[in-house]
Amino acid sequence: DARVTQTPRHKVTEMGQEVTMRCQPILGHNTVFWYRQTMMQGLELLAYFRNRAPLDDSGMPKDRFSAEMPDATLATLKIQPSEPRDSAVYFCASGLVRGTGASSYNSPLHFGNGTRLTVT
Amino acid sequence: DQQVKQNSPSLSVQEGRISILNCDYTNSMFDYFLWYKKYPAEGPTFLISISSIKDKNEDGRFTVFLNKSAKHLSLHIVPSQPGDSAVYFCAAIAYNNNDMRFGAGTRLTVKP
């Protein structure tokens, strides 16, 4: 049963430190999404990639957040410097998407189990 | 800018009864809607979806209804079971891109 793998599961760090979260999408999936779960906003879209190229990162605070896909098996989300307000659960999701709109999704998105980040 | 809204943070129902979870959206370009279910310490998992060309889609105990004119959809679970207790997220995709936008979620508790 193919899964999206996220590491670490938990991260506690001090304000000002760099945080790197990693995601291994399902093999064969061409689109990777990063979401952040907060109490107020629910699942907030931060950025997504298609075939390793960034398509939209408008949901991400650009001054401190960066997302990359060094290769097809790894997506990273970095926060530098981290702040207490960044504390949340960060989810990665992958899917096979071609084109736009509803018909573009060959299957629903598969989510990882998330990285719970606490910044003190 | 919350394009997908779930205005009820929580819902509690008795086992065997119907659970109705609601979702409203503002973006008229959304043409596909999904419900995801999330247990604690796990990622969301896909539950059921509906295209804008339909007004109802049923899968076992789960039925999703879409009212396009009202920009409203709902998820009905009947009969509700204790194992259905989870957070339910409504999501939507626009026809002109691949963004999947989620609501804030509704925590459903089904009491035995």
Domain count for chain A: 1
In chain B, which residues have their Cβ closer than 8 Å to the Cβ of A114? Answer: 41-43
- Provide the residue ranges of all domains of chain B, joining segments of one domain with +: 4-111
Task: Pick B98's closest partner by Cβ from A4, A104, A114.
Answer: A104
Selected residue of A109, A110, A115, A116 to mutate for chain B interface (largest B Cβ count, 10 A): A109
Tell me the pLDDT tens digit for each residue of B54-73. Answer: 999 999 999 999 999 999 99
pLDDT over 90 (residue A100): no
CATH number assigned to the domain covering B4-111? 2.60.40.10
Residue-range definition of the domain harbouring residue A97: 5-119
What is the C-alpha to C-alpha distance for residues B57 and B62, in angstroms, rounded to an integer?
A: 8
Tell me the pLDDT tens digit for each residue of A7-37. Answer: 999 999 999 999 999 999 999 998 999 999 9
Query: For residue A20, which of A95, A93, A87, A75 has the smallest C-alpha distance?
Result: A75
